[in-house]
Structure 1
Amino acid sequence: MDQANITRTNHVMWTMGTDFKYQYAHTWYKQMDKFIHYVNQDGRVNALYSTPSIYTDAKYATNESWPLKTDDFFPYADIVNAYWTGYFTSRPALKGYVRKMSGYYLAARQLEFFKGRSKASPNTDSLADALSLAQHHDAVSGTSKQHVANDYAKRLAIGYVEAEEVVGESLSCIAESASKGGCKGPTNKFQQCLLLNISYCPPSEVDLSKGKSLVVVVYNSLGWKREDVIRIPVINENVAVKDAGGKEIESQLLPLLNDSVGIRDYYSKAYLGMASNVTPKYWLAFTASLPPLGFNTYIISSSSSTASRAASTSSQVYDTKVSQNDTVEIGPGNLKLIYSGKGQLTQYINSRSLVKESVEQSYSYYAGDDGSKDKQASGAYIFRPNGTYSINAEGQDVFTVLRGPLLDEVHQRISSWIYQITRVYKGKEHAEVEFTVGPIPIEDGIGKEVVTKITTTVKNNKKFYTDSSGRDFIERVRDYRKDWELQVNQPIAGNYYPINLGLYMQDNSSEFSILVDRSVGGIKYC
C-alpha cells in the first residue's frame, strides 16, 4: 500500500527473489503461492504472477501521461557511506579480457559465415556461451569471488581455443579460394598470437636469415577501411616488409626493453609450463591498410643491411640522464607531446588543428577504508576512500624515448609496480597510453585504488561527460543532481562514474577526451 501511494496508476510491480533464492525454487514458489492466496483473501490488493511485458501493457492501457527522465541514477548509494562505484574498476584484467574476446568473437563469427558453418567442425558456440556468462552482474563487474573469476576466465580461454581454429581455417580458406576459385580444404595453417600483450608470439619469432619468409594476414572486422600500425616481436634486425604485390613498405624496429622481457619471461613460463627458448630483440612495426570486412597479406623476410635501413629504421634511444634540464619533443607527425627532461608530460601540440595546451599526468592511489568506524569498508562493490596518496617516480633512470618514422614511444618506470608506455603515431592525432599496474603492494594491510590523474587547462566549470553504455554521452556536474537535492557524504566516491567508452570535458575553445579499452571509473576533480 505504501508503494501504491507513490506510484502512478493502480498497477504496482513487486519484484520477488534475490541472489541465490531459486536454488530451492519449489520451496520459494510454494511460499509465494501462499502469499498471493492470503493477500487476495484480504481483498484490498489483487496479487498475481506477472512479467515485465504484462506490467508494461497494463500501464500503457491506462492512457496515463508519463514524465521523461533523460539522465540515470549514477552514482548509486543505498546507505550514507556505501556508494556502489567500486565495481567500476574491480578486476580490470577480466574486464579487458571480456571485451577483447567479445571483439574477437564478432570477427570469428564473420569468418565462420564466409567459410560455412558445420556442426561437425569447430565453431564459435563455446566462446559465445562463455561471453554470455561473463555478462552476469557478478562477472564482468569484477565482484565475484576469486575462484569464480578464475572460472569465467577459464571458460573464455576454452572458447577462444575453438574459435581460434575457426578463424585459422576460415582465413586459410578465403586466402586460397581467391587464387584457386573455391575452397576445397585449406592446405595452409595460420597461427595466431593471443599473448602479444606480453610480447609473446612464437610464429613471428623465427629466424628469417636463412631465406625463410613470414606471411602475416591482417583481418578487418569493421565495415569501413582502416589503417593501423601492426606490431609483432621478431628476432632479426635486418628485415623488410612487403605487401601482397611485392612492394616494400615502410617499417620500424623498436628494441624490446628489459621491463618487457621480464614480463614476457614470467608470464610465458606460467602459460607454457616451461621457459621459452627464444627471446625476441625487437618489435617490428608497419602500417597495414585494410578494406572493409576484408584482409591484406604482408610478407616479412630478411634483407641486406643497406636495404633494411631504408625500409626499417631502428628507433633512437634517448636517455634523460644526459640532459634533464632540456625539454623532449615526442611524435613524428602532427601531434607532439612535450616532456621535461625528468620525464614529466607538460604540453600537447597539434600543428594541424593549431591546438597548444598544457597537460600533466601523474599517478596516485586512494587508501581503502577498513570500515572500523561504522562497519562499511571499501571493497569490490563499494568505493570508500580513506585518504589520497601520490605515487612518485623512483630513481633516476625512469624515462626512455624510442624514435622512428612510424611512431615514437616513451617508456616510464613510475614505481616498482607501475610501468607506462606512451605512443604517438605519425598518422594519428591522439596519444596511446598503455600501463602495467601490479602486483599492488598490500604488505601494509591497506587496500589501494590506483588512479592516473590528468590535469589540463580546459575551463569546464565542474561539468564533464561520460558515456551511457557506449551509446550516448550524459552531462555530469560535480556534487549536483538535477532531479533531487544532493547531500554529499562521500565527495570522491559520490562523484565517480562508469566509463565504458570514454569521457570528455570542454570549454569555449577546446575539448579533452579519453577513450578506454575496458570499463573503468572516472571523476572530474574541479
Structure 2
Amino acid sequence: MDHIQHHACLLSLAVLSCLFMTIEGDACGYKACTDTKDGILNVHLVPHTHDDVGWLKTVDQYFYGANNSIYHASVQYILDSTILTLNQNPSRKFIYAEVAFFKRWWAEQSATMKAKVKNLVNQGRLEFAGGGWSQNDEAATHYVAIIDNMAYGLQFLHENFGTCGRPHIAWQIDVFGHSKEQAALFAKMGMDAAFFARIEDVDHDLRRVEKKLEGVWHGSQSLGSRGDLFFGIFYDHYSPPPGFCFDAFCDDPVIQDDPDLFDYNVDDRVSEFLEFAKKAANAFQTNHIMMTMGGDFEYENANEWFKNLDKLIKYVNQKEESTKVHALYSTPACYLYALNQANKTWTTKDDDFMPIGEPNSYWTGFYTSRPALKLYAREASKILQTCKQLGALSGVDVNSAFLKDAVSIVQHHDAITGTEKQHVADDYAKRLAMGIQQCQISLSDVISKLMLKTKTAPAPKLEFCNYLNISVCATTQSTDAFSVTAYNTLACEVRDYVRIPVNGTQFTVMGPGNKNIQYQVMEVTSETKRVRRDKGSTTHELIFPITIPSVGFSSYLVTAQTTKQRSKGDGSVPAIHKAENSNDVTIKNDNLMLLFDGGTGLLKSMTNIPDNLTLEVQQSFYWYNSSEGSNPYQFRPLGVKAIPLLNKNVNLTYIQGNIVEEVHQQFTPWLSQVIRLHKDQKHAEFEWTVGPVPDKSGLGMEIITRFETPLKSDKLFYTDANGRQMIQRRRNHRDTYPLPMINLVAANYFPVNSRIYIKDDEAQLTVLTDRSQGGSSLVDGALELMIHRRLLHNSGGGLNEALNETGQYGDGLIVRGKHYVILEKPGKSAKVHRPLGLQVFAKPTLLFSHLVPDWRSKYYTKYSYLNTSLPINGHLLTLEQWGQDKNNVLLRLEHPFEVNEDQTLSKAIKVSLKKLLASVFEISDVQEMTLDGNLPISQSTRLQWNTKTEGQFKEDLRYKTTSYGKQADVTLGPMDIQTFLLSVKPRKP
C-alpha cells in the first residue's frame, strides 16, 4: 500500500475504501484453498456451526439467545465471536450455512463490520456452504419451495458478497434422508457436490467397508449429466471426532501445551487425534479426509475452539514426517477440490437415500407428522408464487418479503418435517399467516385495479376467504349478491369447480361474456358443522364450474333469486339418498364410474368409461398402534398389520346432481369421507376428515387410508421425488445394500410429496396428495398413505414432548384433506396425473366482493396477461421481479414430463419467450441463469469426475452457447427447468 493510500485509511470516511483496497486481487473459492501434501494423509479441519432455523426454540429465540431454559443457543453471539476470532489469525477458516440467521445478523452490523466480513469472504476465510435461506428437508418439501428457499438465500449472498459469496457445495448435514430430485436441483444450480451425514445405518456401515462414502450421484435419468452431482457422506456425524469438541459446553480435554505447567497433554492429544484420523482414512479412497469441527449452535465462544485448533494443527504437523499425517484449516469446497485433483475413478449411485434410520426405528413418521402445517406450508408457497407473478406482470411492488422469509424458513428440516416443539410449530404457522395476509392485501389491490375499465370507476373491494374448506366466508354468507374472481397462475387455461358458502338455494350465476352458468346447491354437511364449530353458520354450498384463461382471471357474478326470478335448468338442490336394502350405489360422470357396496358402504370398483377399463378397488381406513418409542421422526408401529377402523358397515349416503355426484361415508364419529365426481373431470376426489384422534392404547394412533386391488404389482410401487420425477420402489429391497428384515412396515414407507401409484400390464391406479405424506405398498395390489398421527407418549427425539397436537379447541387436531384418484392404462396415465399435479399445487386463487350496480360496465370479468398458452408439456414455473431493477424479470420454464413417460408428451418443446410475453413486456435481452437465478449459466463451470461406468463426467455445454434468436426461442427437454433473466420494458395495458 503506498503512502497516499495509507493516509486515506486513517480517515474515518475512507475506512471502507481502504478495506476493499486490501482485498483487491485476493482469491476465494477453490483459488483460496490451502496447499496440501502429497504422499501423506491430509486432514481437512472444517470449523462450522449447525444452527437450526427453529427446532427446540423459535427462529428468533435461537438468534437472540432467548428462552435458554429450553436450550442454550444464541446465533448472534456465534457470528459476533467467530468474525472477531477469524481476524486474529489469517490461517483460520470458517463456514456458515443458514442465510436466514446470517441476514438477521447482517442487518445489525455497522458499515465497518460489513467491510471486514466482505474481506474475509473475498479471502476465502469465511465461506458460505449450501446458501439456502434454511437447510431444507428433502422428503416433505415440494420442488417449488426448495427452489425458492435456495434462490432467496443465494440472492442475498450475491447481492452482498458477489461471486465470492456463492457456495460451490450443498451442505445438507442434518437432513433426514436425501432425494434424487434435490440432487438434480443442486446440479442445476451449478453446485459441484452435496455433503451430508444421515443415511441408513446399514448402508453407512457397508459404504465404510467398501470405501463408497463418496461418489457421483445420477440425479435425473431425464437430465443426464446435467443432473449429476458428487456426493460425500461423513465418516461419522457432523460433530467433531470423539474427544475433540472445544466448545464452551463440551467436556473434552483442552490442549495444554506448556511443559512447565501441570497436566501437559500434547502427546496424548496428538496420539488420540492420529489414531482416529488413520481409522477414518481407511473408509475413503484418497489421501484426504474431512473432519467437521463443530456442531449444533457451537462457536458462541469461538476463541476457545480456534485456540485449541491452532494448537492441534501445530503439534500434529510437527510430527508429520514420521506420522505421515498433515492437518490444515479447510472448507468443504477445498476438500472437494482436493478430491477432484486426486483424479480417482468414482462409483455412481442411481437411487436415493430414503429412508434413513436403524432397523428398529426408521425415520419415516415425519413424512406425515403435523399434517395441518404441511398443508399450510404448501398453500403458502402457492400464494407466494401468485404474489410474485402478479408483481412482475403489473410492475407493482407487492409485499411478499415476509412471506418469502416465512415459506423458506418452514422448509427447514425441523419445520416442514413436523419434528419441532409445539410452540415452534405455532410460531411457524404464525409467520405463514402474517406473510399470507400481507401478500393477499397486495394481490387484492393489484387485481382490483386490473379489473377497472375506466379510471373514474372505484376499484372493487376484493377479499379473501381462508376457511372455504369448512364453508366459512364472511362476504358470501352476508349478502345476496357477490362476485367470485378466480386468478390462474398457470400458462394454460384451467377448468375447475368452486364451492362457495351461502345461505339460500336459488341463484343466478353469470360468467364472463354474460353467460348463464349451471350450478348446484348442497347442504353443509353435519361433519363440516362439527369441524367448524363456532366459526360459521352458513347452511349451503354453491357449486359451479369456472374457466380461467392462462395467467389471468375470470369473474363470476352470483345473485340470489326471488321466487319470480327462478328459472328451470340452471341450478338444482339434489336430494340426499341413504343406501338401503344392501343395493349397490353408483356415481358417475362421462369419464369415471364408482361402484359402492350397498352392504359395507365401501368403494367396490372404479371404471374408466372411455377405455372400458374396470378395476376392483376397495378403499377404507386403518390405524397402526404406536409403540412407546414412536416420536415425530420415527414410525415404529406395534405389530405388522394395521387395524381396521371400521368394525361394522359404514354409514353411507349419496347425492346425484347435475354438477357433482357424491358419496358420504361415516366410518367413526371422528372420521368421515366424501368421494366426489365432478362433471367432465378424469379423477375422483376423496376428501377425508380425521380427528380428534382418540386415545385407544395410551401410546397413540397413526391413521392410514388404503386402496386394495387385484393389480399384479409384483412388489413394485412408485413414489414421487419432491413433486417431480417418479422413483420405483421394491418392497423389502434396497438397491445398494441388504435390507434387514426388521420393522418392515416402517422400512417400506417412503415420502409421497404429490403422488403414488401401482400398476400392472393392464391398469394403473394413481393417488395424488395435497401435501406430503408417508406411503407404501405392503402387499401386491395395495397402496396406503398415512394421513394423520397422534402420539401420546413422550418419546424423546430431543423434543421432550409428545407429538400430541391439541388443536384450537384443546381436544385434538382435526385435519381435512384430499386425495385425487386416477384409473388409467399404464401408458396413458402420465397424460392425466402430470397436469393434475400442477393444478393441485397451483389451484386458482379466489377473491370475493359485494356486487355493486353496473358491475360489467365498470369492471372486466375476464383477462389474460398472455396472448398464447403453453402446451400441456410446458409449465410457467416462476415469474417475478428480480433485484432492485423493476425492468429485470426472472422467468422459469419447466417441462413436467420425464423421458419415455409418454410417447408424445415426453418430447422436447420449443417456446418463444417474446411471443409468450408479447402482451406484457418488450424483451430487450435474455440471459440464461443457473436454476437459482443468481449466476449466468455461461459462468457456471462445474468440476468433472471420472466414473467407473460412464468414464469422465462432462457437463453438457449446449445450454451455455445457446443463441436465442429474434423471438428468444428456447427448447426444453423432459424434466428440464430453464431459468432466464429478462431485461424488459413493460407494455401499456
Look up the equivalent residue of 2:605 and give its one-letter code. Q
Partner of 1:132: 408
Is residue 2:479 matched to residue 1:207? yes
Check conservation: 1:169, 1:186, Cα contact below 8 A.
no
Check conservation: 1:368, 1:447, Cα contact below 8 A.
yes
Q: Secondary structure at the match of 2:706?
A: strand
Change (3 A) 1:356 1:53: same
Change (3 A) 1:395 1:490: closer
List alignment gaps of at least 5 residues for structure 2. Answer: 1-277, 780-989
Is residue 2:456 matched to residue 1:158? no
Is residue 2:667 matched to residue 1:390? no
Partner of 1:330: 587
Check conservation: 2:406, 2:435, Cα contact below 8 A.
yes
Is residue 2:594 matched to residue 1:340? no
Distance 1:396 1:360 in 2: 13
Check conservation: 2:523, 2:540, Cα contact below 8 A.
yes
Shift of 1:30: 4.4
Look up the equivalent residue of 2:513 and give its one-letter code. G
Distance 2:381 2:370 in 1: 17
Look up the equivalent residue of 2:419 and give its one-letter code. T
Change (3 A) 1:241 1:60: same
1:92 aligns with one of 371, 395, 412: 371
Q: Secondary structure at the match of 2:289?
A: coil
Q: Secondary structure at the match of 1:160?
A: helix
1:359 aligns with one of 603, 612, 617: 617
Check conservation: 2:483, 2:555, Cα contact below 8 A.
yes
Partner of 1:297: 555
Change (3 A) 1:16 1:257: same
Change (3 A) 1:490 1:237: same
Check conservation: 1:391, 1:415, Cα contact below 8 A.
no
Shift of 1:69: 0.7
Q: Secondary structure at the match of 2:491?
A: coil
Within 5 A, what are the aligned runs for 1:405-444? 405-442=658-695, 444=697
Distance 1:400 1:24 in 2: 66
Partner of 2:212: none
1:221 aligns with one of 464, 489, 494: 489
Q: Secondary structure at the match of 1:2?
A: helix
Check conservation: 2:520, 2:659, Cα contact below 8 A.
yes
Within 5 A, what are the aligned runs for 1:78-477? 79-118=358-397, 123-176=399-452, 179-180=453-454, 187-208=459-480, 213-266=481-534, 268=535, 276=536, 279-304=537-562, 307-320=566-579, 323-342=580-599, 343-370=601-628, 377-387=629-639, 388-393=641-646, 398-442=651-695, 444-477=697-730
Aligned pair count reads 496
List alignment gaps of at least 5 residues for structure 1. Answer: 269-275, 371-376
> Could you tell me the percent identity over the aligned residues?
36
Distance 2:691 2:510 in 1: 39
> What do the CA deviations read for 1:283-333 (whole angstroms, capped 9, x no partner)?
11111111111111111012355745411111231112xx14111001233
Is residue 2:778 matched to residue 1:525? yes
Change (3 A) 1:28 1:189: farther
> What do the CA deviations read for 1:371-405 (whole angstroms, capped 9, x no partner)?
xxxxxx11111111103453434777721212211
Change (3 A) 1:242 1:185: closer
Structure 1 consecutive aligned stretches of length 4 or more whose deviation exceeds 6 Å: 394-397
Check conservation: 1:393, 1:413, Cα contact below 8 A.
no
Moved more, 324-333 or 59-68: 59-68
Partner of 1:494: 747
Q: Secondary structure at the match of 1:366?
A: strand
Check conservation: 1:332, 1:404, Cα contact below 8 A.
no
Distance 2:690 2:516 in 1: 38
Within 5 A, what are the aligned runs for 1:57-68? 57-68=337-348
Moved more, 250-259 or 1-10: 1-10
1:17 aligns with one of 274, 288, 294: 294
Distance 1:23 1:448 in 2: 41
Shift of 1:8: 2.4
Check conservation: 1:207, 1:236, Cα contact below 8 A.
no
Distance 2:761 2:465 in 1: 45
> What do the CA deviations read for 1:84-143 (whole angstroms, capped 9, x no partner)?
11111111111111011101111111122233344xxx6011111111110111000000
Check conservation: 2:364, 2:750, Cα contact below 8 A.
yes
Q: Secondary structure at the match of 2:744?
A: coil
Distance 2:300 2:386 in 1: 37
Check conservation: 1:365, 1:389, Cα contact below 8 A.
yes
Distance 2:474 2:426 in 1: 26
Partner of 1:75: 355
Change (3 A) 1:339 1:7: same
Look up the equivalent residue of 2:282 and give its one-letter code. N
Look up the equivalent residue of 1:346 and give its one-letter code. K
Distance 2:302 2:523 in 1: 60
Partner of 1:47: 327
Shift of 1:65: 2.6
Change (3 A) 1:27 1:90: farther
Check conservation: 2:625, 2:697, Cα contact below 8 A.
no
Distance 2:732 2:677 in 1: 35
Tell me which structure has the larger Cα radius of gyration: 2
Change (3 A) 1:108 1:316: same
Partner of 1:479: 732
Look up the equivalent residue of 2:504 and give its one-letter code. N
Moved more, 106-115 or 214-223: 106-115
Give me the TM-score of the superposition, normalised by structure 1: 0.89
RMSD: 2.1
Partner of 1:271: none
Q: Secondary structure at the match of 1:503?
A: strand
Q: Secondary structure at the match of 2:496?
A: strand
> What do the CA deviations read for 1:435-457 (whole angstroms, capped 9, x no partner)?
11111112641211111111011
> What do the CA deviations read for 1:7-26 (whole angstroms, capped 9, x no partner)?
22223233343333355555
Distance 1:168 1:22 in 2: 46
Distance 1:281 1:13 in 2: 65
Check conservation: 1:254, 1:283, Cα contact below 8 A.
yes
